[in-house]
């Protein structure tokens, strides 16, 4: 082979490598086109968790759980309803705009503090994109917060959990997002949404009616609770009091005396209790951290340099409670919140694995 042919051959090979690299690089980084695999899935659900890196690099903020919501919205045929406390994800805003542009009815409820946050250019840019697509945004207009984090698509699928639709919640904070494909649950969340969007009713002024309070799917069940028209801490306390083998939980905020008393009672009865508290605020006089630690529970302060934002319980390896509901009096009496209690071992196993992971990080950081 002559030198000229060799150079031509090498140039062709190099060109092919550049093309292949250009195609594969976005996938390697996690582009929106490559939806992340769920931590667990079943016939009617998908569960996903954020995976914050020890060293945060904004350039890697792609391909997270936000892409699952974008995929849901892009697949909507009739309706998209979104109620979320915090919002700055442009890819979600653009998906909402695309849906509205193709004739899907898109509606949004958010907290007034988010709308009023004019110092955050990312929030304002995302809201502008939504408004420019002629999507109506309803604010709560009150001191307490509209703390929901859910989306309902085509009155058939619900996404809910601890995750706000923001870059920080997606790539820096520990969060969960659960997609449930069930029309009855969608009816429950649509009823809650329309109380806020149509009736402009928030906190205890909302209807106490839940159309389908207990849903059965095969051998699994889902119970739906909304605050502050009802008190989700009561059914959760009953589940804790009935626990027979172990209790694991992750909590951004835990100041609820009644829930803490139930946990301490079960610990004294010989039930192992394992818990990770978000470090911020865990040593204040309002936190239940010291009470549970002194009662002998296995408790940790989280190791995320930002925020551990989960609000979840796993009881006896079969029951999982999760949603936007923080374990506090404010969440019970003032805010707009949701809590699902799901009896399904696959769901419980997925959340238990997340507890294990968060505990491992907490122990590594603390040296315990």
Supply the residues annotated as catalytic: 147, 149, 154
| Tokens 């969007």 belong to residue | 197
In what side-by-side order are the strands of the sheet with 337-343? Answer: 214-217, 220-227, 337-343, 319-323, 311-315, 247-251, 273-277, 298-301
- Residue 47 φ then ψ, to 5°: -120, 130
Query: Do 173 and 307 form a contact (C-beta atoms < 8 A)?
Result: yes
DSSP for 117-143, written as a single string: -TT-HHHHHHHHHHHHTT-EEEE--SS
CA-closest candidate to residue 240, choices 251, 228, 248, 252:
248
Token pair recorded at residue 51: 């995976």
Partnered with residue 247 across adjacent β-strands are 273, 315
CA-closest candidate to residue 89, choices 119, 53, 64, 109:
64
Distances (CA, A) of 352 to 114, 279, 315, 357: 32, 20, 9, 9
Partnered with residue 146 across adjacent β-strands are 336
Partnered with residue 322 across adjacent β-strands are 312, 340
Query: Do 212 and 188 form a contact (C-beta atoms < 8 A)?
Result: yes
d(CA 235, CA 276): 22
Query: Who contacts 51 (Cβ-Cβ below 8 Å, separation ≥6)?
Result: 64
Q: Mapped to the 3 state alphabet, what secondary structure does 277-314 carry?
A: ECCCCCCCCCCCHHHHHHCCCEEEECCCCCCECCEEEE
Token pair recorded at residue 47: 């569960």
């Amino acid at each position: 082979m002559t030198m000229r042919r060799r150079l031509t051959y090498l140039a062709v090979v190099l060109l092919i490598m550049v093309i292949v690299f250009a195609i594969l690089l976005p996938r390697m980084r996690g582009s929106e086109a490559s939806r992340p695999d769920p931590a667990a899935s079943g016939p009617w659900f998908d569960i996903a968790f954020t995976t914050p890196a020890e060293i945060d690099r904004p350039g890697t903020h792609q391909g997270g759980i936000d892409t699952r919501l974008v995929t849901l919205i892009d697949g909507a045929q009739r309706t998209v309803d979104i109620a979320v406390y915090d919002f700055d994800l442009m890819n979600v805003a653009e998906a909402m705009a695309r849906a509205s542009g193709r004739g899907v009815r898109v509606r949004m409820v958010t907290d007034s503090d988010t709308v009023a946050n004019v110092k955050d250019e990312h929030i304002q840019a995302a809201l502008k994109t939504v408004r420019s697509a002629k999507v109506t945004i309803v604010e709560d207009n009150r001191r307490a917060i509209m703390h929901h984090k859910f989306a309902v698509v085509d009155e058939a699928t619900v996404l809910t959990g601890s995750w706000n639709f923001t870059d920080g919640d997606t790539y820096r904070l520990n969060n969960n997002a659960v997609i449930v494909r069930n029309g009855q649950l969608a009816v429950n969340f649509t009823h809650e949404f329309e109380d806020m969007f149509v009736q402009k009713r928030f906190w205890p002024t909302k209807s106490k009616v839940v159309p389908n309070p207990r849903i059965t799917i095969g051998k699994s069940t889902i119970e739906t609770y909304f605050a502050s028209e009802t008190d989700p801490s009561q059914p959760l306390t009953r589940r804790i009091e009935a626990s027979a083998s172990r209790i694991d939980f992750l909590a951004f905020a835990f100041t609820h005396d009644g829930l803490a008393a139930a946990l301490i009672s079960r610990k004294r009865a010989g039930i192992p209790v394992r818990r990770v508290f978000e470090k911020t605020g865990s040593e204040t006089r309002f936190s239940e951290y010291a009470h549970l630690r002194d009662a002998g529970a296995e408790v940790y302060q989280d190791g995320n340099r930002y925020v551990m934002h989960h609000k979840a319980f796993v009881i006896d390896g079969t029951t999982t409670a999760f949603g936007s509901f923080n374990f506090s009096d404010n969440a019970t009496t003032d805010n707009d919140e949701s809590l699902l209690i799901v009896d399904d071992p696959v769901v419980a196993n997925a959340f238990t694995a997340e507890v294990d992971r968060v505990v491992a990080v907490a122990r590594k950081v603390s040296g315990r």
